Structure 1
């Protein structure tokens, strides 16, 4: 039996009904905890879209895995789930953002002729690396990290859904991550040598 008293606020009972497949029980829990979970994610990310995505992913995961999760304390579970997903997201972005921060500040830091040659050489290698990406993925990557456009705007501009843009970015980052960091390390080493 999946009929539930609409005034029921007992999480344990709702979770039990949800495990048995009650969409209504899930919706009650979703309504009850959405704001709190969003607020928790937003506090960490300071980005409305990303925070909403994190919350959506967590609740989708709960529903899809309802029969095997067996959650005892939903607020505690949500708190840990937000923390883990935010960490994952930040780790992914941290690998790329410092790279572009460095790209922006380097020309100003190293103005001598040797460094400029190294810089040009580096940029050629970087561009060659980007062209190894499939055309659409390359465009999305450039719009996000070189034009600094949010994924929402990129999706609108390219007529894609945000999820597609995010998936393509994730794949581009995976593909480029190691090569970009190696390139950057080589450049910093060479520039340090020419600066001394």
Structure 2
């Protein structure tokens, strides 16, 4: 049995001890990494209760899958598990990450060699989708989301009614949403590797 105060023990040793049902090894990993895992979940969710639930679930999975789980790095495992569970929760709750937030997540994942390439590919596809919009919709979309103009300002600038701006925005957003949802899923699947 491992003393719960000995935090200098190697993570791989603790994982091996867990495979022989040493609960003290699990508790030591839990104490060592719980706060770090919770902070990673909270940073993405901004909800303490959900962040705690996800963190607890991940540690429960670590214990329940201890016999067959292959973990090279406990912090990397926990980080990936937190990220994947946060995305599952967001999908279940129908909460979605905005494109800038998604790109920030990609930047935070910069320890992966191909993240910059993935970010560039995402942006190229996003720009291609925007460029595929009909001319009037594309203009209104870019004024709204690239230049951050209000619908009233766009209407004045283009000398059209505000209702026309809103209708065109609605059409363009709906058209892009379906394509971006698919692109978003592709990015999530890649990040989950």
TM range, smaller chain: 0.3 to 0.5
TM-score by length of 1: 0.46
Asked which structure has the greater RCO (Cα within 8 Å, sep 6+), the reply is 1
- Judging by fraction of residues, say which structure has more helix: 1
